[in-house]
Copies of this chain bind each other. A is one copy, B any other.
Amino acid sequence: MLPGFLTRAVELLLGKEGRSLHLKAAGGATAVLGVVMLLGSWAVVAAEHGARGANLTTYPKALWWSIETATTVGYGDFYPVTLWGRVVGSVVMVVGITTYGLVTAALATWFVGREQRRRHHLAHGAEELGEEAVRALHERFDRLERMVAGKGEDPGRR
């Protein structure tokens, strides 16, 4: 199951103490995707080398192929024809769409957080009001106690 494995891998990699895991995960996945594309381009050329009908014959062509594969455009001008070339292609595809999903989710989280912080200003104000209210009630008690104490000591003189 991808997501369970993914969340654990991300937590292991980045630790739980980070302030904004979502931005770190999106940035990390983008970096991983870059490495996978660069290494995958080299690996696919090696895997396809000498195969009948192979079109991924040079590194520049393979780099362009990795870009159109990771973005899921897939024109079909280049594609792997060997088993290992297709394994490399599958990895580029899966890492590509996972990165894209992570970036979309991180953007949503960032947007939602901003919206809530804006609205929480109000809530935070209300919280401080609560502390203020409790302080005011204690002052009323202080005053009442002074009144009761004052009457008791000297009831008729005033």
Would you call the interface of chain A mostly helix, strand, loop, or mixed? helix
CA of A97 to CA of B73, assembled, Å: 10
Whether A30 contacts B7 in the complex (CB less than 8 A), given A114-B22, A140-B141, comes out as: no
CA of A149 to CA of B75, assembled, Å: 90
Closest CB-CB distance, A41 to chain B, in whole Å? Answer: 13
How many residues of chain A get a CB closer than 8 Å to chain B's CBs? 85
Contact A112 B108 (CB under 8 A): yes
A73 partner, pick from B74, B104, B156, beta carbons under 8 A: B74
**A13: Cβ under 8 A from any B Cβ:** no
Closest CB-CB distance, A65 to chain B, in whole Å? Answer: 9
Contact B152 A150 (CB under 8 A): yes
CA of A151 to CA of B131, assembled, Å: 32
A153 contacts across to B, CB distance below 8 A: 158
Q: A residues near B, CB below 8 A?
A: 1-4, 6-7, 19-23, 25-28, 30-31, 60, 64, 67-69, 71-77, 79, 81, 83, 86, 89-90, 93-94, 96-98, 100-116, 118-120, 126-127, 129-131, 133-134, 136-138, 140-141, 143-145, 147-153, 155-156, 158
Q: What are 17 contact pairs spanning A and B, CB under 8 A? A: A3-B26, A7-B110, A22-B115, A72-B74, A76-B76, A77-B81, A101-B104, A106-B111, A108-B109, A113-B115, A130-B133, A137-B141, A141-B144, A144-B144, A148-B148, A151-B151, A155-B156
